Structure 1
Amino acid sequence: MSKILIITDAWEPQVNGVVVTMTTIVKKLKERGYKVDVIHPGLFHTFPLPNYPEISVAWNFWDLKKKIEKSDPDYIHISVEGPLGLTGRHYCLEHKIPYSSAIHTKFPEYVYERFNIGLDVTKGLLKWFHNSAINTLVNTKSHMKELKKDGFNDLVLWSRGFDEEVFYPDKKGGKGNYLLYVGRVAIEKNIEEFLKMETSLKKVVVGGGPMLNKFKRKYKEVDFLGYKKGKELANIYRDAACFVFPSKTDTFGIVLIEALACGTPIAGFDVTGPKDIVIEGENGSLDKKDLGKAVERALKVDRTKVIKSAKKYTWDVSTDQFIESLVSIK
């Protein structure tokens, strides 16, 4: 059977949507009989990213060449634009090896929020990185439209899924009567828009990140639960009255469909990612400016209808799309 080599700077023990996506895809590929090698930071010497210690970055990435040659793959996919991704890209171009890539996030907007670096600079770098790939996977139609407008080429739609054995609805859903956020506690997630929002309902935050301790001190009335996963996380989703997604820089948000799968309506801003998933009045509500108004409307949604909108998102479809985007190098 064919061998796929995945080069990624995002891998376990990191906790984020990219890691969930790539670990799940690798599992699905192996179930289908593919051999899969993953080159990730854990195979190198690493250092914690400044101001983001949860993420480790490989520094002796010059060893990547030997690992690629040892793998001898039929296909190469470069997942993230980090040191390993950059080195892998250079190797492929130097040896005239075709490869596929993926844009998981709005990287330019992330960098702007954290370091105030101009969008034109980072968009240019991102375009330089991905336009040399034969195919570049993107998460949603709205993000694809934005990227095409910015000059990105050869874009292929790549959806996401959820674990149906873990995330499912309950007839007593919403009994916790709280508003829920799940994700990184970081400036680029715009989470403070949720934390400062006026509401009579309790707020619950699941996840960690560089702003966690600061926000714990500032918003003492909010329950910060730290990282949760599996059935424990699913129960938290199910008991929430509404899932609130304040981010304006995500391209999809797996947490959105996990919430829907548990029957919990979504409230967020009318931006790329949420607007590809949320159906107004059916599974939640979006607002261009006022998150509180979106929450008010989402709370009125019939929870029995919410689950229906999640059923089209499966990891099998996502795996099919990933396989179709691969380019043979032999």
Structure 2
Amino acid sequence: MKVALVTDAWFPQVNGVVTTLNQTATQLRHLGYEVRMVTSEGKVGIPCPTYPEIRLTLSPKRRIGRIFSAFLPDAVHIATEGPLGLAARNWCQQQGWIFTTSFHTRFPEYIAARFPVPVSWGYAYMRWFHGAADHVLVSNEALAQELRERGLGRLCLWPRGVDGELFRPLPEEERLAHLPGPRPAFVYCGRVAVEKNVEAFLSLDLPGSKHVIGDGPLRADLQRRYPEVHFLGLMRGETLARHLASADVMVFPSRTDTLGLVLYEANACGVPVAAYPVVGPQAVVENGINGYLDEDLGKASLAAWSVSRDACRTAALVHDWRRCTEVFASLLVPARPDSLNAFPRQDVV
């Protein structure tokens, strides 16, 4: 079966959407699917306002038509609502093709945090965009319920996984050598931007030391205002995994993430998570098992410090990318009538 995955978010960006789609494409290929990634990689684009890591493709409609006409996918999945996703959506509708979409990011809230645009306007666009899809894939039931209340329908659960070979515990002596400053080491890992609420972590009165792994538009200002915090910059691969595994607690202050793959990654390293009891962390963290959730983030951070590191890893390894991709594949739909032959009957939902 040939599958086209369309996304405005792709390498060299470092975020959960890119990780999810890369892992999904890799696992689909292992399962025998032929996958065509339709991305902005190598194409002329402009930086997304306030998120320059994302390059927005210019005039993508003609390119989408050329790719789809040549590749003739049996299934089309549109992962983002940007220019590429919009062009793919519109082209499919014009051709009478059926497709699925996924909801990864609360862009209405992110835009409203930066510009005087009502959140309701953003969700009107989301309802319109995803309303044309046969299925809308979401990462957890709490998010699905929230989106239903905002008028989105045809929602299906598509869980997320973690690479337990890359994200793994370190021997104790090595673990204690990576992060500067006294213990315990409380670490934030993610984009340093307004929607991540990083200052809620930086302003906590905690023992030991605080560390920030990541970069973003607020880094320079926060680094100036919190000189005692160790800002370690953007990390990838083994370097990221080693530093994350060196933490005593991973603090996740975001109130807007729809899940947060870094929660699974921290747990896979044996690191407990502290977060607010909101959509995203609620789908991952069980108090006393792999971290703590509390409206008092400082209280959650101190409580998480006592959680078993072995239990954290055990909880994370339940989330396997192959099984997640099998769920994804089961939710794909035939793009065209002649695609039906590519689908096992039990896979069509």
Q: Same fold (TM over 0.5)?
A: yes
Letter in 1 for 2:127: K
Q: Could you tell me which residue of structure 1 aligns to residue 347 of structure 2? A: none
Identify the match of residue 310 of structure 2 among 288, 292, 304: 304
Runs of 4+ in 1 over 3 A off after TM superposition: 173-176
- Give 5+ residue unaligned stretches, structure 1: none
Secondary structure in structure 2 of the residue aligned to 1:114: coil
Deviations 1:86-134 (A, max 9, x none): 1111111111110000001222222222224212111111111112100
Which of the numbers 251, 257, 272 marks the counterpart of 2:279?
Answer: 272
Contact 2:138 2:157 in 1 (8 A): yes
Residues 105-164 of structure 1: CA deviation (Å, up to 9, x unaligned): 222222222224212111111111112100111011110111112221111111111112
**How much has 1:315 moved relative to structure 2?**
0.3
* Residue 304 of structure 1: how far off its partner (Å): 2.4
TM-superposed deviation, 1:7: 1.1
Q: Secondary structure at the match of 2:26?
A: helix
Could you tell me whether the CA contact under 8 Å between 2:161 and 2:320 is conserved in 1?
yes
Contact 1:104 1:251 (8 Å CA) reproduced: yes
The Cα RMSD (Å) is: 1.5
Deviates more, 1:17-26 or 1:53-62: 53-62
1:3 matched to which residue of 2?
2
How many percent identity over aligned positions?
39
Aligned to 1:235: 242
Counterpart code for 2:15: N
Residues 164 and 317, structure 2, Cα contact 8 Å, conserved in 1 = no
Deviation at 1:171, TM superposition (A): 5.3
Moved more, 256-265 or 23-32: 23-32
Deviating more after overlay: 263-272 vs 170-179 = 170-179
Number of aligned residue pairs: give it.
Answer: 328
Q: Which ranges in structure 2 are unaligned for 5 or more consecutive residues? A: 340-349
Q: Which amino acid aligns with 2:69?
A: E
Partner residue of 1:78?
78
Report the secondary structure of 2:310's partner residue.
helix
Which residue of 1 is the match for residue 47 of structure 2? Answer: 48
User: In 2, are the aligned partners of 1:44 and 1:61 still within 8 Å (CA)?
Assistant: no
Task: Please point out which of 252, 255, 262 is paired with 2:269.
Answer: 262
Partner SS, residue 130 of structure 1: helix
Q: Which string of whole-angstrom CA distances, capped at 9 and with x for unpartnered residues, describes residues 169-195 of structure 1?
A: 245286353111111011001111111
Query: Could you give the per-residue CA deviations for residues 303-325 of structure 1, whole angstroms, max 9, x where no partner exists?
Result: 22222211211101110111011
Map 1:34-183 onto structure 2 (within 5 A): 34-63=33-62, 64-170=64-170, 172=172, 175=176, 177-183=184-190
Counterpart of 1:56 in structure 2: which amino acid?
R
CA distance in 1, matches of 2:323, 2:248: 29
Q: Give the match for residue 194 of structure 1.
A: 201
Query: Does structure 1 retain, via aligned residues, the 8 Å contact 2:201–2:253?
Result: yes
SS at match of 1:94: helix
Contact 2:162 2:317 in 1 (8 A): no
TM-score, normalised to structure 1's length? 0.95
Pick the aligned partner of 1:317 from 313, 323, 335: 323
SS at structure 2 position matched to 1:6? strand
Question: What residue is the counterpart of 2:256 in the other structure?
Answer: 249
| Aligned CA distance change for structure 1 residues 226 and 305 (closer, same or farther; 3 Å) | same
Give, in whole Å, the separation in 2 of the partners of 1:218 and 1:203.
14
SS at match of 2:127: helix
Task: Indicate the larger mover: 248-257 or 40-49.
Answer: 40-49
